[in-house]
Amino acid sequence: MKCRKCGKKALVNLKAYRISLCGDCFLEFYRRIVERSIKKYRIFKNDDKILVAVSGGKDSSAMASVLRELGHDFELLHIDLGIYDYSKDSRDKVKELSKLIEKSLHILELRDYGFTISEVKGKKCSICGTAKRYIMNRFARENRFTVIATGHTAEDITAFYLKNIAGGQKEYSEKLLPRTEPFDERVVARTRPIFEMSEKENMIYAILKNLPLKLEECPFAPNPDWKEIVYEIERRKPGFVKNFVRGIAVEQHRFEKKYCSICGEVSTREICSFCRIRSRFISSK
Ligand code: SF4
Ligand code: ZN
């Protein structure tokens, strides 16, 4: 198999695009797609101060690396969730990444808010998600960042969308837009610069760029049921995921504006979900 662009020996075959590429041409192809998404969907504004959230995994590391290659100025944020060795390893990897791409790194610890994910009983992932969003938003706002970039992939977005539709909660799909503008001054805008890229493409990019990667999964990762469905559709209909995320057109859903009576952050209820989680831990200690 030969590279479609330069004729050298191909290294990767991207079924979604029906194209085979050598390593160098793949990297160029990857950069071009991300660059085009950023322009087309106005993912960043000229005067944005960008905070890039990194976990140590392939997707967010690939995002940080490609944003740097495209000449964006930004800082990195990592949240240590307190998940045994997994968190320690993640932390080591983001530190290596920050050195490699020469971007400054902020590390925050969930422990400082009174609990860790290891201590959570029951729905760890949903609490983890709430905690990450809360801490990222607060840190970004207090440090005058105007936008937070997260490494959501095309599969993440497709799975999230299908799950919400199936659960009758289409309004949550506003979280899937390439850029979500804040509905309140206490909320920082969110972007998903690699929303068109698949996990496989991120992995190939990360390997070819020799990025430091944490390969093991979080010990609390649930069965990726919706993801499995998405993988299966993609296997049968190559290109589905890419077309799906491009085709998503969602209305900006406006929540009623309220502030948490404990911490003052924006909340849809009297007490925000993060403070409700914290109070459970604090009262049990
Ligand atoms: Fe948090 Fe682990 Fe669940 Fe990811 S898999 S949301 S890191 S608990
Ligand atoms: Zn080539």
The pLDDT mean for the chain works out to 92
Give long-range contacts, CB 8 A cutoff, 24+ apart: 167-174.
170/250, 171/253, 172/253, 173/248, 173/250, 174/250, 174/251, 174/252, 174/253
Q: Is residue 16 part of a domain?
A: no
Asked, for residue 230, whether it belongs to a domain, the answer is yes
Instruction: Return the pLDDT at 247.
Output: 84
Q: Which two tokens stand for residue 100?
A: 């490699």
Question: Number of structural domains, the chain?
Answer: 1
Q: What is the largest CA-CA distance in the chain?
A: 65
Q: Average the pLDDT over 147-166 and give the result.
A: 93
Domain containing residue 215: CATH number:
3.40.50.620
Nearest ligand by distance to the CA of 220: 1
Please tell me the predicted confidence (pLDDT) of residue 165.
Answer: 86
H/E element, 266: strand 266-267
Q: Are 225 and 237 within 8 A, CB to CB?
A: no
Alpha helices in 185-258 (DSSP H): 199-208, 225-236, 240-247
Candidates 255, 148, 244, 137; CA nearest to 196 is 244
pLDDT at position 249 is 46
Instruction: Report d(CA 194, CA 151) in Å as an integer.
Output: 6
Does residue 254 have a pLDDT over 50?
Answer: no
Please write the tens of the pLDDT for every residue from 192-213. Answer: 999 999 999 999 999 999 999 9
In this model, does residue 103 exceed pLDDT 90? yes
How far apart, in whole angstroms, are the C-alpha atoms of residue 285 and residue 278? 11
Q: How confident is the model at residue 256 (pLDDT cuts 50, 70, 90)?
A: low
pLDDT tens for 25-42 read 999 999 999 999 998 888
Containing 258, the helix (H) or strand (E) segment is strand 258-259
Ligand 1 pocket test target in 58, 60, 81, 84 with most atoms within 8 Å of CB: 81
Taking 60 as the threshold, does the pLDDT of residue 278 lie above it? Answer: yes
The closest residue, in CA terms, to atom 6 on ligand 1 is 125
Amino acid at 175: K
Q: Which residue has the higher pLDDT, 283 or 145?
A: 145
Inside any domain, residue 148: yes
Confidence of residue 171 (pLDDT cuts 50, 70, 90): low
Pocket test for ligand 1, best of 117, 156, 217 (most atoms within 8 A of CB): 117
Q: Is residue 101 part of a domain?
A: yes
Residue 250 has pLDDT above 50, yes or no: no
Could you tell me the pLDDT band of residue 191, with boundaries at 50, 70 and 90?
very high
* Per-residue pLDDT at 53: 98
Q: Is 128 in the pocket of ligand 1 (CB under 6 A)?
A: yes
Domain that holds residue 78: 23-256
Q: What does the alpha-carbon distance between residue 212 and residue 174 come to, in Å, rounded to a whole number?
A: 32
Average pLDDT of span 108-132? 94
In single-letter form, the type of residue at position 179 comes to R
Supply the pLDDT for residue 40. Answer: 86
